[in-house]
Amino acid sequence: MMGSRATTAWMVGVLLYAGAVQAQGSAPATPPKLPPGVSAALWKLSVPPGAEPTPEKVSLGEKLFLDPRLSADNTVSCSTCHEPAQGFVDGKALSTGIKGQQVTRNSPTVLNALFNASQFWDGRAGTLEDQAKLPILNPREMGMPSPEAVVAKVQAIPEYATAFKAVFGRDVNYDDLAAAIAAFERTQFSGNARFDAFITGDSKALNASEKRGWALFNGKARCNSCHAANIVSPLFSDQKFHNIGIAAHKQDFVQLARKAVGVVRLGDEKQIDELALQTEFSELGRFLVTKQENDIGTFKTPTLRNVGITGPYMHDGSLTTLWDVMDHYNKGGVPNPYLDGGMQRLGLTEPEIDDLVAFLFSLTDARYAKLNGQELARQQKRKGTRPERDTAVALGKKGNLGDLAPNPDLAVKNPAAVGVYGAETLVPGAAK
């Protein structure tokens, strides 16, 4: 039943999109073969006309992505912080660029980045092309002094001079270089996890603990408030920006924001990029992009796909395990003047946290199954070290962080029995 509804929903999405495109008088791009967790409609909506990843452009983009010669000292490539074999992350709390310089943000995964409404933790880039340009020029990342210097260096490499002529019909320029990297990144989609098998009808794809975790995710734990998934957005992210209190214990937000107002030039992507990765202003998050008070300390909701292998977690990599992440949310985050209104204590018990973590590990793509198992084992060994844990606050024995979310009787109605990302139906075995 679930599989039938899934197929129908995806077909409806594709037909609706195709109809809209036809009405505009243009032909839709043909998507590649997609995994179960990525709809054709979403792919078409996410790839701008003219930016379709051709094999030639993807091949060139992959070479550039892996090439440390794009950096000032030939030591750092895009893949240094986004290693394909590690789920396109580097496994570090904070990434390191040329000359061993550390930045102030954690490297998010490139997997499914093509579906992001904006790029980077603070959304300072609107497209993959814009995103590809900035790290090459950031003094702490790849350190090239200017786009012109990048072009001159790449053009002087015979294999690239030939490749750009073949792919773009002209000499190297910075826009084409970014377009090639973006084309490669547009092929890095992910949607073939055990969860995808479960949600499309295989009741045995998840074990009992993972099914309980899925129910908690949609119920008592309220994870779906920001990480809901549906046909149009299967990323487990609302693509919005929230202050969940991660940076609050480090900075006086009010004083820092006042200081930043006189410094930040709205629309200056290069300046904002450097402020975000090199200065104390990093913790202001989205505020650097908008200068809006309600954006102080807010960061984009990350995708939960492949979350088991893409730690450490949060914009600053300050949470080492998914148990740490759940402890942070369980106590309602860290209070501050700009804390998101949705943050409140959850009252989760230790077994419930275990079930939620088990579910989160089920969201990893099958191609990373071995790494996922290794990371689960590593994190389990750290369960005894829980710096974010505050059971008294989580259970309402101290503090005042609101009432608990509903804890429904699963025998009556299971909140995870909401069909293919939104149509109510019975998920086989979900209440077990």
Residues classed as catalytic: 141
What is the residue type of 268? D
Of 34, 112, 47, nearest in space to 304 by CA:
112
Residue 16's SS3 state is helix
CA distance 418 to 104: 39
Please list, in sequence order, all residues whose beta carbon lies within 8 angstroms of the beta carbon of residue 50, skipping any fewer than 6 positions away: none
Q: What burial letters (b/e) apply to 215-232, b meaning 16+ CB within 10 Å?
A: bbbbbbbbbbebbbbbbe
CA distance 118 to 140: 22
Residue corresponding to tokens 């074999």: 85
The two structure tokens encoding residue 102: 């550390």
CA distance 355 to 349: 10
CB 239 within 8 A of CB 304: no
Phi, psi dihedral angles at 84 (to 5 degrees): -55, -40
CB 245 within 8 A of CB 333: yes
CA distance 211 to 207: 6
Of 106, 27, 34, 98, nearest in space to 69 by CA:
98
CA distance 329 to 352: 13
The two structure tokens encoding residue 371: 């790494």
Phi, psi dihedral angles at 313 (to 5 degrees): -110, 160
Secondary element (H or E) of residue 243:
none
Secondary element (H or E) of residue 284:
none
Neighbours of 189 (CB within 10 A): 24
Burial class (CB in 10 A: 0-12, 13-18, 19+), 7: middle
Q: What stretches of 95-190 show up as alpha helix (H) in DSSP?
A: 128-137, 147-155, 158-168, 174-185
